[in-house]
Structure 1
Amino acid sequence: MLSGSGCALWIVLLSHLETAYATYSEDQCSWMGSGLSQQPGSVEQISLHCAEGSLDWLYPKGALRLSLSPRLPSGAVGPGGAGRSSGLITACIKPEETFWGAQIYLERDGILELLVGDRPDSPQPPRVRCFSRPPGEKVALFLQATPHQDISRRIASFRYELRGDWNARLSLDSNTVHHEGACRPCNDTEILMAVCTSDFVVRGNIRSVLNDEDLRVSVIKVSASRVYRQKYSLFPTGGRLTKAGEIRTLLQCGVKPGAGSFLFTGRVHFGEAWLGCAPRYKDFRRAYEEARNTHEIPCELASD
């Protein structure tokens, strides 16, 4: 057991070691640092400039103020967009299951709103929290360390994602992002735009639907007959060379298994596929052929 002076020396040495980790990633997408190197009562200013990344705050002490300024394309649109950008930015943060030692607030024009509380003994995994920023509004995240006697286990880590014109179909938290229209079927214009802008475009059949009441999510298990596009390996090859994967959507949409072939589109959200537009394949082909005949098709899709 260390004496009082020995313990103090260990903390000093640990502080010097952690200072080396107070760094940005080379592309300024992520940050890692330690509260042991911060002055008491100080607020460290951090700025990240990517559409997605992470923050790891070891032994939280004092506070951090995080500004997120993604370099997004000027014409970024979501799968339900109409080809133009409103300038709206939607951000989501996903705390790690071991998140402990701090609280995360949304700072909007000097007003703080609690997004994530300190959760040392909670049995439930932390929820994804989302919020939107209108054009011209200054938004930041404020992380406040909570006092604890034991510094050895405290690590406040989370991942973030930001998108331009991310529509309600991809929102996860009804407290911060409106769900109006999230379960509405897409019209022909939205379907064709989804094919052009989605992270995945897959033709397939619904094998089953699993509902998670706690997370308010439905998981659609899909057998894919054709993968036109996918970000990451969402639909890997399974038995007999078929491809299978999972797509998530809001529980309130009440998705049920149905016969027939569908065209699934959507976004990748923290490594998971989230449903955008999902017309029956025959309805997509009808809309696609009509748009091509009138020279109004926004992009080409390989024919079967």
Structure 2
Amino acid sequence: MLTPILAYLLSVLLLCRIAFSQYSSDQCSWRGSGLTHEGHARDVEQVYLRCSQGSLEWLYPTGAIIVNMRPNTLSSAASRLSVCIKPSANSHGANIYLDRAGKLRLLLPEKEQALGKVTCFSIQEGALFIEAIPHRDISRRITSFQYELVSERTTSGVDPRLSSAPCQPCSDAEVLLTVCTSDFVARGTILGVEQEEEQSTVTVAIAHLYKQKMQVFASGGVRARRWMGQVRIPRQCGVKPGPGEEEFLFTGSIRFGEAWVGCAPRYKDFLRLYREAEQKGTNPCFVDTD
């Protein structure tokens, strides 16, 4: 026979175990369930994410959650970051708002999330307020998305609406710096351009691959002796193949597994800039131009 104290302790441990099983969280990703407060439909939970990329998965959404996103290091550059989110194809059950000082702005309605379109906003605009839509049957409803913190220039690639001039050419200083900081850097030519609704997919042949964070460019095999790949550019930039075999220096970032171009100067223009900076000793990093 259990004593009252022992019975109480066992019940507390059981409740803690159930609550722990409903939520899984680290600084990068969060996974939770609305079943923990199903009887309290007006409950609001705070979620904190501190990584440059991660994911959120809210099963059986009820009530609401507030998602606070911040980088895990403090710097002046943090205020110039933006948050990009990409809903999964089966995301539904809640509307996603931006919450700034208690004022809500609809960011992603439930019906648009299944499209998987990337949406971005400045990190200064506030937190995400995700509000469940009341349903009698919540058993098949999951709200989920991936997120990334990105700089202003690369954000204009995945969401051109954030920039008034997403196709503005990079300055000389930006060209030299982006070679050092980009996820991929390659010299090559444009083979073809496929126009889509909001972006252009550019097929390129690579003569020299300097670096790539992910498998953007793949080898065409021993006989081909060159690398091939695809990069993306906002459609309004009007990119098209240049005359003959004109070479460009392609640089940019990987966003949700896709390569987005940041700066893409003509290689001969980059070479001139690089050599001038080399003579002055102002190059931010070394590039093998031989």
State TM-score, norm by structure 1: 0.82
Structure 1 match to 2:12 = none
* Alignment counterpart, residue 236 of structure 1, candidates 203, 207, 218: 218
- Between structures 1 and 2, the one with greater helix share: 2
Give 1:35 deviation, angstroms.
0.7
Structure 1 match to 2:260 = 274
1:1-304 equivalences in 2 (<5 Å): 20-25=21-26, 28-39=27-38, 40=40, 41-72=42-73, 74=75, 85=77, 87-119=79-111, 125-134=115-124, 139-166=126-153, 169-174=156-161, 177-178=162-163, 180-213=164-197, 216-239=198-221, 240-258=224-242, 259-304=245-290
What SS class does the counterpart of residue 181 from structure 1 fall into? Answer: coil
Give 1:171 deviation, angstroms.
4.5
What SS class does the counterpart of residue 170 from structure 1 fall into? Answer: helix
What SS class does the counterpart of residue 236 from structure 1 fall into? Answer: strand
Q: Residue by residue, what CA displacement relative to the aligned partner does 1:71-127 show, whole Å, maximum 9, x if unpaired?
A: 25737xxxxxxxxx48312111111111110111111121111111112xx697132
Deviates more, 1:95-104 or 1:124-133: 124-133
Aligned letter for 2:190? I
Aligned letter for 1:231? K
Aligned letter for 1:245? G
Structure 1 match to 2:11 = none
**CA–CA separation in structure 2 for the residues paired with 1:269 and 1:252:** 19
Give 1:187 deviation, angstroms.
2.6
Q: Residue by residue, what CA displacement relative to the aligned partner does 1:166-200 show, whole Å, maximum 9, x if unpaired?
A: 456434151xx12x221122232221111111111
Asked which structure has the greater CA Rg, the reply is 2
Query: What are structure 1's unaligned runs of at least 5 residues?
Result: 1-15, 76-84
Give 1:165 deviation, angstroms.
4.4
Give 1:234 deviation, angstroms.
1.1
Structure 1 match to 2:3 = none
Give identity over the alignment, percent.
45
Deviates more, 1:272-281 or 1:85-94: 85-94
Matched pairs, number: 268
1:65/1:140 contact within 8 Å kept: yes
Q: Residue by residue, what CA displacement relative to the aligned partner does 1:12-32 show, whole Å, maximum 9, x if unpaired?
A: xxxx8785141113xx10011
Stretches of 4+ moved more than 6 A in 1? Answer: none
1:207/1:257 contact within 8 Å kept: yes
- Structure 2 CA distance for partners of 1:249 and 1:111, relative to 1, 3 Å: same
Query: What are structure 2's unaligned runs of at least 5 residues?
Result: 1-16
Give 1:38 deviation, angstroms.
1.9
Aligned letter for 1:55? L
